[in-house]
Structure 1
Amino acid sequence: MKRLVILGGGESGVGTAILGKKKGYDVFVSDFGKIKSNYIEVLGLNKIEWEDEKHTEDLILNADLVMKSPGIPDKAPIVKKLLEKGIPVISEIEFAYQYTNAITIGITGSNGKTTTTLLTHHLLKQGGLNVGLAGNIGKSFAWQVAEDKVDVYVLELSSFQLDGIVTFKPHIAVITNISPDHLDRYNYDYGLYIESKFRITMNQTEEDYLIYDNEDEAISFWLKNNKTKAKKLPFSLTKKLEEGSYLEDKTIINITNNKQINMPTTNLSLDGMHNVKNAMAATTVAQLMNIRKQTIRESLSNFQGVEHRLEKVLKIENVQYINDSKATNVNATFFALESMETPTIWIVGGVDKGNDYTELMPLVNEKVKAIICLGVDNKKIIDSFNNIVDVMVETSSMEQAVKVAQKIAEKGETVLLSPACASFDLFENYEDRGNKFKSAVRGL
């Protein structure tokens, strides 16, 4: 019996354990942190051995195969030891992929991947397909494969998940955009991060498709210097394309496999030019999957959006409060600030992942009235914007940040939480940060 060791007892770890057990592996789950009680219960019900708050080497280094959760870096001592012994270390995506015959659609990118994934899932579901949602979002891919009830999977894939693939090949791959993010995991080498994103297409053949942003510098540079066998379907806001999606007279024009669909951007349920791009990517997938044009149009106009992504919370005394906690890098915050139409009080800060704030300067100059720092160490933000905005306040809790914002904001203005940083200094994750923002706003 082959031994499968799983590092990390979260959603992807427990899902992989269930699938591994079903496929006849001797399974062991090890988590260096604490495993949540609901997951412990599931492991118990499935008679799967586990440990937490430690890694017992004797129980791990005897593995035939190891699935590592995406949050664990390759630099972790236990991972180094496994690699030195030549034991294969893969991601949940790679493990589960071997056991499904479903069509897979993989979506990656520095920003927009969650919105594009949910929008694509919405289009396919409204089109009547039996479709699952997994990867970096929702219920674990492996868990769903173990239950095996769907024909198509839409997978949101992070660079960490792609780092652990060997044979995984999505039939349709989407790269929304690439901008510096998570550089702390890539030795501060942007090139390594870009390579990591493009692993999504490395196993694709002539029968597969790659959908991507035609204007993105990093993507264009990679495609100029590297080959993919997949059929390329770009999208663009500035250039007329023979195939793919482009914008003309405020209308999205999509031409895929000789089928054309037009959609006025005014009918989209989501605001902002970045969402026009997300809609283009999702439409191209829907066209490839033969969803009816009428269904595509209706679905794009009734899609509800993503929690913690430019989410309008409340208007209080004519001040709009917006939760964009999901903006964990500079590029995401760029889109948020770009879509602001009134003077903005900007709440920013957290764990810096090697951020360069230069690209935000013109937008901050034009739109931001005051900056509220919310992080343990705000020095870099203060140094970057000190000369651009008149009001700068440091705070150490969400409640305090929101109260200060309320004092500064005047009628007709906006308070925007768009941190541009990871959340792990003061919060569990970006959802926790966004929820605390929403409850602080509701408490005003």
Structure 2
Amino acid sequence: MSAGAANSGREHRNFLVILGGGESGVGTAILGKKEGFRTFVSDRGKIADKFRLQLEEHGIEWEDEKHSEEKILKADLVMKSPGIPDDTPLVSRLREKGIPVISEIEFAYTYTNAVLVGITGSNGKTTTTMLTHHLLKEGGLNVGMAGNVGQSFAKQVAETNADHYVLELSSFQLDGIENFCPHIAVLTNITPDHLDRYKYDFNRYIASKFRIVKNQTEKDYFIYDADDPVIMKWLQENPIQSQKLPFSLREEFEKGAFIKDEQIIIRTDNSELTMPTSNLTLEGKHNAKNAMAAATVAQLLRIRKETIRQSMESFQGVEHRLEKVLKINNVQYINDSKATNVNATYYALESMESETVWIVGGVDKGNEYSDLLPLVNEKVKAIVCLGINNEPILNAFGNCVDTIVETRSMEDAVNQAYKLAEKGDTVLLSPACASFDLFQNYEDRGRQFKEAVRKL
């Protein structure tokens, strides 16, 4: 369904206020200005120089280090950065006044007729997004990548407007949609994450993820992990309109993706693709699932089978996700800084094939570490805590491993891990936590890890 068709009935709103002057905010401002809105960007923090320059180049009014509430409350439409919680007083006041508060994804959707692939999930969505984009691009499509990765979706719609977009969508972005409808929706998995934003209610978080299918019709497709009990329970209780294409490591399907005799088999409408699992450059069971999801999208969009197979072999993976950094004294150092929750770290530990010194910790989002205990018992020889509050980790794993040390900087953590690791071991940074206690974000944390390893 085209976005134009979906949104042609919406009235034009004149005064657009954007809360947050980062990538999504500035992109929305540029698109808003192009579409004839009077546009104003407001950020409670400081707007980075590169974004300030873009606003000034486009003649867009902005403020930072404050919110001019009186002005903001005169908006006809507000785009809120995904980092701003729904229950902040300003957002509550906007809603009380009946002013629509939407996400960048919703706003940009109104102005493109591109075919959209929306990808969400607690883990694996970045890898799946980048792999899907890689397959479609190698297949010759005019395709953009946006959402949580790449440039702002709104900015791309304003400046290039590709024929296809692959969008990585967080639950926060999905919370701000009304009419947004991807032609192909992908849900990689659902495990508890960001529960601090959902009043510690897992069901609210699940409902947020499933907003990705809320506007889909029988002409659209929904690709999902049939091994995930949370997804399967929700689908049993909530009928959806779209055509379902499951993927699984355990089951076979008439339509969907599965593994049989070390072959990935993907069946869509009257078409079957097979390729050896050995073709995958990405290691681990979770990456086999990411590959099945991405290849199913490519198959639906009629990318040649041989192109899909070759593209799977040439994909390089995602920075900060099980990224091999260096081997020093026959010890492999792996950067998995993107593992900001327990489930992501579960996949990382599961893929370890040698004794592991595990660097873990950060801002605990209400983590339940018990799922990791069997893997920690089996694979982890020592733990290096990296965070301000390490108590939950000490309590969870104190009886599991002989050695746990506490650190407050990446350099110290890497040095401690270096002392604890022996020939043939792996040092794994897989924090299972957010990064905001000691780092700007997970990328900063990953870069500092790689830098500290190179200094050894």
TM bin (shorter chain): over 0.9
Counterpart secondary structure, 1:15: helix
Counterpart secondary structure, 2:75: coil
Paired with 1:314 and 1:77, the residues of 2 have a C-alpha distance of 47
1:384 aligns with 2:376: no
Q: Cα distance, 1:76 vs. partner? A: 1.3
Which runs of no fewer than 5 residues in structure 1 stay unpaired?
Answer: none
Quick one: which of 330, 336, 343 aligns to 1:324? Answer: 336
Paired with 1:54 and 1:292, the residues of 2 have a C-alpha distance of 52
Q: How many residues align?
A: 444
Paired with 2:34 and 2:135, the residues of 1 have a C-alpha distance of 32
1:247 aligns with 2:269: no
The RMSD of aligned alpha carbons is 0.6
Counterpart residue identity of residue 434, structure 2: A
Paired with 2:364 and 2:156, the residues of 1 have a C-alpha distance of 34
Give 1:34-433 correspondences, 5 Å limit. 34-433=46-445
Q: Cα distance, 1:148 vs. partner? A: 3.2
Counterpart secondary structure, 2:334: strand
Given that residues 127 and 290 in structure 2 are in contact (C-alpha distance below 8 angstroms), is that contact kept between their aligned partners in structure 1? yes
Paired with 2:270 and 2:250, the residues of 1 have a C-alpha distance of 21
Paired with 1:423 and 1:116, the residues of 2 have a C-alpha distance of 22
| Percentage of identical aligned residues | 70
Counterpart secondary structure, 2:166: strand
Match of 2:5 in 1: none
Give 1:20-31 correspondences, 5 Å limit. 20-31=32-43
Deviates more, 1:301-310 or 1:148-157: 148-157
What do the CA deviations read for 1:288-331 (whole angstroms, capped 9, x no partner)?
00000000000011100000000000000000000000000000
Counterpart residue identity of residue 318, structure 1: N
Counterpart residue identity of residue 320, structure 1: Q
Counterpart residue identity of residue 78, structure 2: V
Paired with 2:240 and 2:44, the residues of 1 have a C-alpha distance of 38
Paired with 1:149 and 1:431, the residues of 2 have a C-alpha distance of 28
Counterpart residue identity of residue 373, structure 2: M
Q: Cα distance, 1:99 vs. partner? A: 0.2
Paired with 1:208 and 1:254, the residues of 2 have a C-alpha distance of 18
Paired with 2:258 and 2:213, the residues of 1 have a C-alpha distance of 22
Q: Cα distance, 1:71 vs. partner? A: 0.4
Paired with 1:138 and 1:387, the residues of 2 have a C-alpha distance of 42
Given that residues 322 and 334 in structure 2 are in contact (C-alpha distance below 8 angstroms), is that contact kept between their aligned partners in structure 1? yes
Match of 1:442 in 2: 454
Quick one: which of 17, 31, 42 aligns to 1:19? Answer: 31
Q: Cα distance, 1:149 vs. partner? A: 3.5
Counterpart secondary structure, 1:104: strand
Counterpart secondary structure, 1:410: coil
Q: Cα distance, 1:147 vs. partner? A: 1.1
Counterpart secondary structure, 1:129: coil
Which runs of no fewer than 5 residues in structure 2 stay unpaired?
Answer: 1-12
What do the CA deviations read for 1:224-257 (whole angstroms, capped 9, x no partner)?
0001100000001001111110110111111111
Counterpart residue identity of residue 253, structure 1: I
Counterpart residue identity of residue 38, structure 2: D
Paired with 2:439 and 2:232, the residues of 1 have a C-alpha distance of 36
Paired with 2:212 and 2:55, the residues of 1 have a C-alpha distance of 31
What do the CA deviations read for 1:55-104 (whole angstroms, capped 9, x no partner)?
11012110000000000001212111111111100000000000001000
Given that residues 115 and 163 in structure 2 are in contact (C-alpha distance below 8 angstroms), is that contact kept between their aligned partners in structure 1? yes
Paired with 1:19 and 1:50, the residues of 2 have a C-alpha distance of 15
Match of 2:10 in 1: none
Paired with 2:253 and 2:180, the residues of 1 have a C-alpha distance of 30
1:10 aligns with 2:30: no
Given that residues 114 and 161 in structure 2 are in contact (C-alpha distance below 8 angstroms), is that contact kept between their aligned partners in structure 1? no
Paired with 2:439 and 2:140, the residues of 1 have a C-alpha distance of 39
What do the CA deviations read for 1:80-139 (whole angstroms, capped 9, x no partner)?
111111110000000000000100000000000000000000000000000000011110
